[in-house]
């Protein structure tokens, strides 16, 4: 996976500065993976209950809903925007899945995905065509979509017979939970799309310098709309999988996930200013947040406030390192 922007900084420099620039770029893109590995080792040595297959699966499944949302969020942030609607879309997606299930398990996946995509389409059009700020547009969607979810289901809906739909989330393939497969395959596809397709190149180009991208003939508006559609679709799908996992449509589900997905991406080295980031980094960010939650729980009697504190500290450190590294590279 390449990191956009490195080549320009590296080009036409001497051998030593080039090596230094490469190192900085490596820390920026792979730092989160390193921290994740380190944290896993420390937690494994410190807490006897941590390094078990069951616990790793537990972290993985719990993080999978955030993971799917983080994929879309990473595309959007690299593009230079962000999407606050995804948390509410998880709630709407789970409610729609519960309502659509009587028509078939495929409907319970398709309807939430389409609804999420439709919200993303509206967001994208308002941002790309009408030139409105992503913050305001997606904030409006955050509020509006949550309202729709609550109107559709004031209380939670019980899915009495999840059947195949339940198996999609709770089954296993080769001894590994399906949810983990889904999110891993999702990240793999996303990484290929981001780095090996013209669409991916366009996303980096727009996030790096929108004007330059436009002059180079990149269809800026179309790429932007498409990216918000992808983000919305994945959020709707995440809600559907949550419904399958919990056998319930929960209109209040997903609150705060929009900010957690942004935090995960940033911890993973995705620059909030756009143009820089990797899917592997974002995945590491998701897992790091999941690991913090898990470890704080293992400590047991420690108040869960520390969970927020630890996540906050991680985020701050990540941003601090990013800022320093970016300045060094210039």
Partner 1 sequence: MAIKTSWVVTSVACAAALAGVAHAQSPSPHAAQMIRSRSKAVCVNPHPNHMKISAIVVGFSQSQGNENPFRAEETKSLKDAAASFHAKRYVYTNAHSNEAKQVADVESMINQGAQALVIAPLNSTGLQPAFAQAVGKHIPIITIDRHTAGTDCTDYLSFMGSNFYKQGEIDGEQLAKATGGHAVIAEIQGAYGNSVETARTKGFAAAIHKYPGMKIIAAQTGNWSTTDAQTVMSQILLAHPNVNAVYTQSDTMAFGAITALRDAGKKPGQVKIVTIDGTKQGVQDIVSGWVYADDETNPRFGPIALHEIQNWFDGKPVPQTIVIKDHLYTQADAKSALASDAPY
Please tell me whether residue 301 binds partner 1 under the rule CB under 8 A. Answer: yes
Asked whether the beta carbons of 219 and 95 are under 8 A apart, the reply is no
Q: How many CB atoms lie within 10 A of CB 256?
A: 8
Q: Left if phi > 0, otherwise alpha if psi is -120 to 50, otherwise beta: which for 274?
A: left
Give the span between the Cα atoms of 203 and 226, in whole angstroms.
Answer: 10
Minimal distance in Å, beta carbon 33 to partner 1? 23
Q: Which of residues 208-267 bind partner 1 (CB under 8 A)?
A: 242, 245-248, 250-253, 255-256
DSSP-based three-state secondary structure for 176: strand
**Environment class of residue 25 by beta-carbon count within 10 Å: exposed (0-12), middle (13-18) or buried (19+)?**
buried
Closer residue to partner 1, CB minimum distance, 55 or 195: 55
Token readout for 79 is 């593009």
Binds partner 1 (CB under 8 A): choice among 37, 45, 158, 313? 158
Closer residue to partner 1, CB minimum distance, 127 or 241: 241
Binds partner 1 (CB under 8 A): choice among 25, 29, 36, 65? 65
Binds partner 1 (CB under 8 A): choice among 132, 150, 152, 272? 150
Closer residue to partner 1, CB minimum distance, 251 or 284: 251
Give the span between the Cα atoms of 207 and 65, in whole angstroms.
Answer: 26
Q: Which of residues 66-125 bind partner 1 (CB under 8 A)?
A: none
Minimal distance in Å, beta carbon 89 to partner 1? 15
Minimal distance in Å, beta carbon 122 to partner 1? 24
Task: Tell me the torsion sign for CA atoms 9, 15, 20, 26.
Answer: positive
Residues with Cβ within 8 Å of 272's Cβ and at least 6 positions away in sequence, in order, are 77, 82, 262, 266, 319
> Considering only CA atoms, which of 51, 4, 36 is closest in space to residue 202?
4
Please tell me whether residue 172 binds partner 1 under the rule CB under 8 A. Answer: no
Closer residue to partner 1, CB minimum distance, 63 or 218: 63
Q: Which stretch binds partner 1 (CB under 8 A): 101-109, 131-139, 185-193, 297-305?
A: 297-305
Give the span between the Cα atoms of 281 and 75, in whole angstroms.
Answer: 12
Minimal distance in Å, beta carbon 250 to partner 1? 6
Q: Which stretch binds partner 1 (CB under 8 A): 110-118, 123-131, 208-216, 298-306?
A: 298-306
Q: Which stretch binds partner 1 (CB under 8 A): 24-32, 71-79, 154-162, 279-287?
A: 154-162
Give the span between the Cα atoms of 108 and 98, in whole angstroms.
Answer: 7
Asked whether the beta carbons of 118 and 111 are under 8 A apart, the reply is no
Please tell me whether residue 62 binds partner 1 under the rule CB under 8 A. Answer: yes
Q: Which stretch binds partner 1 (CB under 8 A): 78-86, 196-204, 293-301, 321-329?
A: 293-301
Q: Give the footprint of partner 1 on this chain (CB under 8 A).
A: 49, 52, 54-55, 58-59, 61-62, 65, 150, 153-158, 170, 242, 245-248, 250-253, 255-256, 293-294, 297-298, 300-301, 303-305, 307
């Amino acid at each position: 996976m390449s990191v956009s922007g490195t080549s320009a900084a590296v080009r036409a420099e001497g051998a030593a500065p080039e090596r230094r620039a490469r190192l900085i770029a490596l820390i920026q893109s792979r730092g989160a993976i390193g921290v994740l590995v380190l944290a896993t080792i420390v937690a494994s040595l410190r807490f006897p209950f941590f390094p078990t297959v069951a616990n790793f699966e537990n972290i993985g499944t719990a993080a999978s809903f955030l993971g799917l949302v983080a994929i879309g969020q990473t595309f959007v942030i690299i593009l230079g925007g962000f999407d606050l609607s995804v948390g509410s879309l998880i709630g709407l997606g789970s409610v729609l899945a519960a309502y659509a299930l009587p028509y078939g398990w495929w409907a319970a996946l398709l309807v939430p995905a389409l609804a999420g995509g439709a919200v993303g389409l509206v967001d994208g059009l308002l941002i790309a065509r009408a030139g409105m700020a992503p913050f305001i547009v997606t904030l409006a969607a955050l509020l509006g979509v949550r309202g729709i979810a609550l109107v559709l289901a004031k209380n939670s809906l019980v899915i009495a017979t999840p059947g195949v739909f339940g198996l999609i989330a709770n089954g296993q393939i080769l001894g590994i939970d399906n949810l983990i497969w889904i999110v891993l395959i999702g990240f793999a596809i996303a990484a290929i799309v981001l780095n090996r397709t013209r669409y991916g190149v366009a996303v980096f180009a727009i996030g790096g310098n929108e004007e330059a991208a436009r002059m180079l003939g990149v269809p800026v508006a179309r790429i932007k709309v498409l990216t918000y559609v992808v983000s919305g679709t994945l959020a709707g799908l995440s809600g559907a999988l949550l419904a399958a996992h919990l056998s319930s449509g929960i209109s209040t589900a997903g609150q705060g996930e929009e900010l957690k997905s942004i935090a995960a991406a940033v911890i993973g080295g995705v620059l909030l200013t756009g143009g820089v980031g990797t899917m592997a980094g974002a995945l590491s960010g998701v897992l790091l947040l999941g690991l913090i939650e898990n470890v704080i729980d293992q400590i047991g009697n420690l108040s869960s406030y520390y969970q927020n504190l630890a996540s906050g500290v991680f985020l701050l450190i990540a941003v601090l390192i990013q800022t320093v590294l970016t300045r060094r590279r210039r």
